[in-house]
Structure 1
Amino acid sequence: MSAYVLGHLHPDTDSIISAIAAADLYAKRGLDVVPAAQGKPAPETAFVLERFGLTAPQIVEDVAGREVYLVDYSDLGQAPRGMDSATVMGIVDHHKLGDITTSLPLEAWIWPVGCTNTVLTNMYEFYGIEIPRSIAGGMLCAILSDTVMFKSPTSTEADRKAVEKLAAIAGVDDVMVLGMDMFRVKSAVDGASMQDLVFRDFKDFDMSGKKVGIGQLEVVDLSLLDGVKDGLKQEIARIKADGRHSVFLLLTDIMKEGSELLFVSDDPSVVEKAFGVPLSGDTVWLDGVMSRKKQVVPNFEKAFK
């Protein structure tokens, strides 16, 4: 039975492309694996898959009794059902180490870079394995997405070097043009439900025993969300009622390089504690805040202590 190479719940482009790339790399090292995902591709990811002729991974909701390789996460809150009886064989990630534990020694590559696909680019090089042209294109897009075209504070020189290498393999002459094409697709809201928009990039966290959901929508111009903002507020309130202490939704303007934070919480003062900004209503502008991983989650973890 093949092992799953599996990204996090509500997969983004990095999660899905990481599963595809890692499965290719592991298979060429002689391992029996298949890429998998915990959900269908979001519009940006679908654009990337079609652009480079890649196939979306199979959707998996339960991994009971299976061997799994995790990509782009190591938190139980982002894992599928059945993790208590699954065997974690490896982790490739760029986030802090989560609370998933293993019964056996494992291969772990966890680097402080802007994207899991940056780590995978270096893994291909380490093992002396050539990156296929189509997969290189997908990996390139994942890095551009996760680093917000290098505007995010999570960006590192390693990410830039990986993009340069991947662009040469994929035959992409202008990565910024490609990046803007991706973000235009990512900015589209027509026809999407409020639930789909909130869950395009949404993760749950355990913060001092409280379940906290944090989502992010990245757009090229915040005005594109004016017509759906009230609906988004109603949706995060509905999601909070499903056993969460708080739900926060970042509406990130990649050109203005900041985010409007929508929130619903049992204790709204945590927003002021986290960012040092006065509150008036249920939204606040956070200038320069682009990264959930580096600028939002750590601040809230401190505020919840």
Structure 2
Amino acid sequence: MEKELIFGHQNPDTDAIGTAIAYSYLQNKLGYNTEAVALGNPNDETAFALKKFGFKAPRVIKTAANEVNKVMLVDHNEPQQSVSDIEKVSVTHVIDHHRIMNFDTSSPLFYIAEPVGCTSTILWKLYKHFNVQIPQNIAGIMLSAIISDTLLLKSPTTTSDDRQAVEALASIAGVDYAEYGLEELKAGTNIKSKSEEDLINLDAKSFDLNGKAIRVAQINVVDLSEALTRKSALLKTMETTSSTDHYDLFMLLITNVLDSDSVVLICGSNEAKNVFEHAFGEVHDSQISLPGIVSRKKQVVPQLTEAFNLEVNL
């Protein structure tokens, strides 16, 4: 059978990489010929999870059409978040938990999108649907993905399906999910050794909101005050990137994974910042505190989308 590549979004997180690995295993059991690859190197948290469960990081690709004619997507669907030549290949499968935007195909495809906390939760249900046993290491990397995306089941995106999946996968993986989950999340909060450029690109996604180019990045920490000592340098790097890549708005969520609060640093055009303030409140010195805000997918992008669609102050 013709080979297909499976991958998550650019600047991959644990869900993007972990679910690609787990989906490739499932699809190969179902008779497909697939390889899990990535659109970037794993971050510290993902590297921790991969090592814990005995995986090597998937190889990184820049383009897909030079290797295959068909691909499967996990944890994303928007073209600007995908491989650079996505328009040159056929997408045959999508497993996702995000909004559907700017996505179309010339042929029918297998597409599942559910409003759950993590793509691996959907995949856990697919394993059950196809009656395929989940190996211990696959269960571990899927568990890691759900812990990451739901902040150990504390995110408002968390559903009963996510909780059931975590309990089931932890049992198969042979770990205490609460204990392991805290270790995993803390592994991704070390920012001291990273440059400002690294930090604003570790987990960043681009969105087209009513014709405006929006960049939303997020980093997890255990000490907000420590991260904010680098505020000036982070903003300068964000401004440089915005100028180079023509973003109308660039926002960086700095999220405390222990307290489930965030501080946002923001730069961009006055018009775009006005729209942001309409959605979230007044910004002071390029900064705003957002208590209880931890989810880009549920608590940031929908609110921004609504505000920009209203063309407030534009």
**TM-score, normalised on structure 1?**
0.96
Distance 1:224 1:141 in 2: 26
Q: Give the whole-Å Cα distance in 1 for the aligned partners of 2:283 and 2:228.
A: 20
Q: How does 1:1-305 map onto structure 2 within 5 Å?
A: 1-64=2-65, 66-172=69-175, 174-241=176-243, 242-266=245-269, 267=271, 268-275=273-280, 277-305=281-309
Aligned letter for 1:273?
Answer: H
Residues 54-95 of structure 1 deviation map (CA, whole Å, 9 limit, x = unaligned): 121111111226200000000011011221120000000011
For 1:95 and 1:156, how far apart are their aligned partners in 2? Answer: 14
Displaced runs of 4 or more, over 3 A: none
2:72 is paired with a residue whose SS is strand
Partner Cα distance (1:288, 1:262) in 2: 16
Q: Distance in 1 between matches of 2:266 and 2:151?
A: 23
CA contact (8 A) 1:4 1:66 kept: no
1:150-198 per-residue CA deviation (whole Å, 9 max, x = no partner) reads 11110000000000000010001x2121111112111101221211111
Cα distance, 1:80–1:44 mapped onto 2, change above 3 Å = same
CA RMSD of aligned residues (A): 1.2
Distance 2:258 2:172 in 1: 28
Amino acid at match of 2:219: L
- In the alignment of these two chains, the number of paired residues is 303
Q: Normalising to structure 2: TM-score of the pair?
A: 0.94
Residue 145 (structure 1) shift? 0.6
Farther-moved stretch of structure 1 (265-274 vs 83-92): 265-274
8 Å contact kept, 1:70–1:92: yes
Q: Structure 2 regions of 5+ residues with no counterpart?
A: 310-314
Distance in structure 2 (CA, Å) of the matches to 1:183 and 1:15: 16
Identity %: 38
